[in-house]
Amino acid sequence: MKLFNIGKNALYISIIYLGTLIGAESFPCFFQKEITSQAELETVISEESAKLGIKEKIAGKFASERNLSIHRDGENFTIYANKELPLMRTDVQHEVYHYYKDKDKIDNPKGLTLYYLLIAEPRAALYQSTGLKF
């Protein structure tokens, strides 16, 4: 019986965690203008990089085969955005913050799933929704 209660509590905690994370990421999007062009995407990436003191250039690219994410291409980094989905400034902030805090871990998934789910993603979501750096 205790094992059942532990499992039930873990499920409740997971639902609350995911709901809070998704809400924190989604709420600011209601108050922003959509990014619709390549030039706008590159401008927003440059502005958000400057806010975080990032001197390296991060490229931006609309691509229909990828969801919003940042990837390493050799020594260069690119933020990919799906053409079919709305893209807001906070979405770009989120991906730029991943670069700022976790540059060395991007596209290096070995053993980092828990780190990503429990540290990197919530930290980027908090920055996206509040502008606070952790």
pLDDT tens-digit profile of 65-122? 778 999 998 889 999 999 888 898 989 999 999 999 999 888 876 667 788 888 888 8
Q: What is the pTM of this model?
A: 0.79
CATH classification at residue 116? 3.30.2010
**What pLDDT digit, counting tens, does each position of 44-62 carry?**
999 999 999 999 999 999 9
Provide the domain count of the chain: 1
Contacts of 44 (CB under 8 A, 6+ apart): 35, 60, 89, 92
DSSP state of 120: I
User: Are 80 and 71 a contacting pair, CB within 8 Å?
Assistant: yes
Instruction: Give the residue numbers spanning the domain of 31.
Output: 2-130
